[in-house]
Structures are given as structure tokens and as C-alpha cells.
Amino acid sequence: MDHFLYRDSALFAEDVPLSDIAATVGTPAYVYSTATLTRHYHLFKDALEGLPNLVCYAMKSNSNQAVIKALADLGAGMDVVSGGEYARAVAAGVPGDRIVFSGVGKTRGEMELALSGGIRQFNVESEPEMQVLSAVATALGKTAPITIRVNPDVDAKTHEKISTGKSENKFGIPISRAREVYALAASLPGLKIVGIDVHIGSQLTDLAPFESAYEKVVELTHQLRADGHEISRLDLGGGLGIPYTRSNEAPPLPTEYGALIKRVIGDLDVEVEIEPGRLISGNAGVMLTSVIYVKEGEGRDFLILDAAMNDLIRPAMYDAHHDIVPVVEPEPGVVQLPYDIVGPVCETGDTFTRNRPMPPLAPGDLVVFRSAGAYGAVMSSEYNTRPLIPEVLVKGDQFAVIRPRPSFDEMINRDIVPEWL
């Protein structure tokens, strides 16, 4: 469920007409719903009720500070994968003891930043990283709490570019080597083992891969405890998918996911951490855009929008589907025609979808891409010297720009021409 609904034939974000945002802010723009962010966070908290838990929002899905603060104020922790994301979380007021640092390539500088500012744990992904973290922590006179990310060699049955738990993926250490790697961690100064980390991929639409991975983690927990290690936390990652279409085929609900965790993990006497990102922010946002031209082509027609692949790269990168709907609700029974929906960037890849049925549209008409709150603005660029598009947060009947659109001068003046040119 989201809070982008038609009222009297006009599409609203909560209690704000999207046409009002377009008139004030311009298009294209991202629009987020505070009510949807809040609802989705509580779905996970409620699903884990009865287990000690921390829901750590995966900031990589949408790292605007207003979004971070809205979730942090609800009690959410943060899962960060870079020093920049750590700095964003801290700037938004998230305490260090609610920040988990993931990622395969943490640098010495990032480790120093997090150890100095406070950190809940590092999810360590390799022996070389572990040795560097030990050296950095020791030099700072700190102790780094760690989990070790194990790769369970489980096929998440998702897109190959977002699968992270198979043996050929770059993430974690093989679970078959976990005991020797934990023994190494226990021997290194400056480290404190607190648990195990696992994450098998993104946009999972089936609970079976989760169950397979978590059962392996349960077995490993017993083995590591028998070896004398303290395993008080299990970081189970994220990855639960969202419905990108309005069809009847929907991914499992957080309640079903929570029931699985309780059934598989519940007897271990551990604190459970999960790292949802897409399911919290994905359907909490839309991309608002307008039609520039309707173009007749050879055997096909095109809707040319003012949004492009640099604004929303998911279709070009992942062949991803987004429902695209007009802001003015079409009359019942209106004849829909097939269009290729494209942007103005000088690339054939700047195609959002092909042969998509749409009601008749004209230049200036507004349309929205649904389910665009995750991996939209965070993956955008200024390709073709197109300004990053604004982000807008709605709460009830009010809205605010939470990232403004830069001017051409602001973009160009970031360049520095050497004096010898």
C-alpha cells in the first residue's frame, strides 16, 4: 500500500495534488510520502515483535537526509556502505550505536571515521579487511565490534546484478570457511566478535532462499558457540521485494517474512537485525514528469518525457518495470494506445519501456513513475549536463523541497579550468 491515490480524477501524494507540486517545483521531480515510509517501517517492527531486534534502513536505497531523519525519529537504525553514507546518517541525527557499516571495500579512512564517531558494528567481508580493521582500531585505542558476513551459496532467484549470496558473487566469505575465519578474528587485537551477517540479494519474491540461508546460519551459530565465540546478534540482511506492478502477483509480506525469522531463528536467544531498504522507500516515492512531445514513428509512436535515464536509470540498467500513470485519471473505458516511453538523453538506451499501453496524452500532460522511491534519486547523474532533479517530501497537506534542482551556473561553476588553459 502507498499514499499516491486518485481523488476526483486527480492523483494525490497524501493530501497534496501532484499537479500543485509540479506547478511549484517543476518537472521532473521525485516525490516521497512520509506516511508510506512510516507505515512500511512499522510493518517490519510489528513483524518482529517478540524478538529483540533492530530494523536498520538500508540507506543506499534512498539517502536523502530528510528520509533518514523521518525513519530515525521512529527508532530505525541505519545500514551504511560508505563513509559518505555514515556521514549522512550522523548529520541526520542517527546515533552511532544504531549504525551498521556494510560493504566489501571499506577503506582505512572510513574505518577511522566510524570508530571515532561511534558504530554499532562492522559487517566484515574478508580476511584482509579484518586485518586492516584490527590495525586501525588498535592504533586508535578502540575496539571494533564485528560480525563476519558469510556467503551461504544460496541462489536468491533475483536479477543477476543484485544477487549477492552465491559462491561466484564478491560478497562475504564462504560459509564453509567461517569457523577458521572466526578463529582468526578472535586472535586479532582491537576486534570484538558480536555475531554473524548474511545477505543474499535484493528484490526477492520468494521466501525459500531466505529460509535456506537462515537455516545455514543457525547451524553455524551452534558451531561457533561450541568453538567459544559469543554470537549475540544475527544480521539477516534485507532484500524482500516490492510489487512494481499492480498485478495480483505480489512478493511475500513483511508479516510472512517475520514469521519465517521467528520460526527459524527464534530459539537462538539472539538479537535480530534486518536491513530493508527497497521495501521501506520504494513504493514511498514516485517520479513526476511531463510530456514534451508525442512523436509518430515508423511502426511505433513515442512519448518523449522531460525525465531521462540519468534521472531514473533502473529501466536501462536492470530492464526494470515501473507502472507509469497519468496525473489526471483517464475516463473509464478510454482507448489506450501503445507507446515507447523515452527521455531526451542522446542514447537509444534512454528508453523506459516499449509498447506500453497508455491513454491519449498531449505535450504538457503530467505522468508519474510509481515505485520510484528506491534506487532512483540515489543513482541519478548529471549526464548530458542535465541537473539533478528535485526531491520533495510530503506530509499530510504540506510539502517541502528536500533537494533543490541546481542551476546550470551552479553545475558549470563546479568545474575548474587550469590557469594555463
Whether residue 318 sits in one domain with residue 202:
no
The one-letter amino acid code at 301 reads: D
Whether residue 155 sits in one domain with residue 49:
yes
CATH label of the domain that carries residue 341: 2.40.37.10
Unique residue bearing C-alpha cell 580476511: 127
Is the separation of the CB atoms in 191 and 143 below 8 Å?
A: yes
The one-letter amino acid code at 344 reads: P
Strands in 52-141 per DSSP E: 53-58, 77-80, 99-101, 121-124
DSSP H stretches of helix in 166-287: 178-187, 208-226, 254-265, 278-281
Say whether 249 sits in a helix, a strand or coil: coil
What H or E segment, with its residue span, contains residue 23? helix 18-25
Query: Shortest CA distance to 326 belongs to which of 349, 303, 300, 353?
Result: 303
Predicted pLDDT at 1: 67
**Is 346 in the active site?**
yes
pLDDT surpasses 50 at 164: no
Is the separation of the CB atoms in 366 and 327 below 8 Å?
A: yes
pLDDT tens-place string over residues 281-299: 999 999 999 999 999 988 8
Angle, alpha carbons 288-294-296 (nearest 5°): 145
Instruction: Measure the CA–CA gap between 104 and 123, rounded to whole angstroms.
Output: 9
Predicted pLDDT at 298: 85
pLDDT tens-place string over residues 313-371: 999 998 999 999 999 999 998 999 999 999 999 999 999 999 999 999 999 999 999 99
DSSP sequence for 137-151: HHHHT--EEEEEEEE
For residue 420, being part of any structural domain is answered with no
Predicted pLDDT at 247: 57
For residues 48-74, average pLDDT: 97
Whether residue 222 sits in one domain with residue 160:
yes
Q: Which domain holds residue 201?
A: 34-279
Whether residue 24 sits in one domain with residue 68:
no
Marked catalytic residue, from 346, 416, 417, 421: 346
What H or E segment, with its residue span, contains residue 34? helix 34-47
For residues 83-111, average pLDDT: 97
Is the separation of the CB atoms in 252 and 261 below 8 Å?
A: no
For residues 274-283, average pLDDT: 95
Whether residue 197 sits in one domain with residue 54:
yes
Predicted pLDDT at 366: 98
pLDDT classification of 418: cutoffs 50, 70, 90: very high
Q: How many residues does the structure list for the chain?
A: 421
For residue 417, being part of any structural domain is answered with no
* Least confident range of 213-222, 235-244, 375-384, 394-403: 235-244
The total domain count for the chain is 2
Whether residue 389 sits in one domain with residue 256:
no
DSSP 309: T
Whether residue 233 sits in one domain with residue 338:
no
C-alpha cell at 349: 538506451
Whether residue 99 sits in one domain with residue 208:
yes
Instruction: Measure the CA–CA gap between 100 and 57, rounded to whole angstroms.
Output: 10
The bridge status of strand 351-358 relative to strand 366-369 is unpaired
> Considering the entire predicted model, what is its pTM?
0.93
CB atoms within 10 A of CB 279: 26
Unique residue bearing C-alpha cell 556502505: 81
C-alpha cell at 10: 486527480
Tell me the CB-side half-sphere exposure of residue 112, using CA atoms within 13 A. Answer: 7
Give the rounded percent of residues in the chain with a pLDDT score beyond 70. Answer: 94
Predicted pLDDT at 83: 98
Domain boundary among 224, 250, 279: 279
Domain boundary among 279, 308, 329: 279
Predicted pLDDT at 104: 92
Predicted pLDDT at 171: 66
pLDDT surpasses 90 at 201: no
Query: Shortest CA distance to 124 belongs to which of 189, 198, 65?
Result: 198
Whether residue 23 sits in one domain with residue 39:
no
Whether residue 9 sits in one domain with residue 82:
no
For residue 177, being part of any structural domain is answered with yes
For residues 42-53, average pLDDT: 96
pLDDT classification of 170: cutoffs 50, 70, 90: low
For residue 418, being part of any structural domain is answered with no
- Name every residue whose Cβ is closer than 8 Å to that of residue 71 and which is 6 or more positions away in sequence: 37, 41, 57, 280
Predicted pLDDT at 248: 52
Preceding peptide of 28 cis, ω within 30°: yes
Instruction: Measure the CA–CA gap between 263 and 149, rounded to whole angstroms.
Output: 22
Query: Shortest CA distance to 328 belongs to which of 2, 1, 7?
Result: 7
Unique residue bearing C-alpha cell 505522468: 367
pLDDT classification of 155: cutoffs 50, 70, 90: low
For residues 402-417, average pLDDT: 97
Whether residue 46 sits in one domain with residue 24:
no
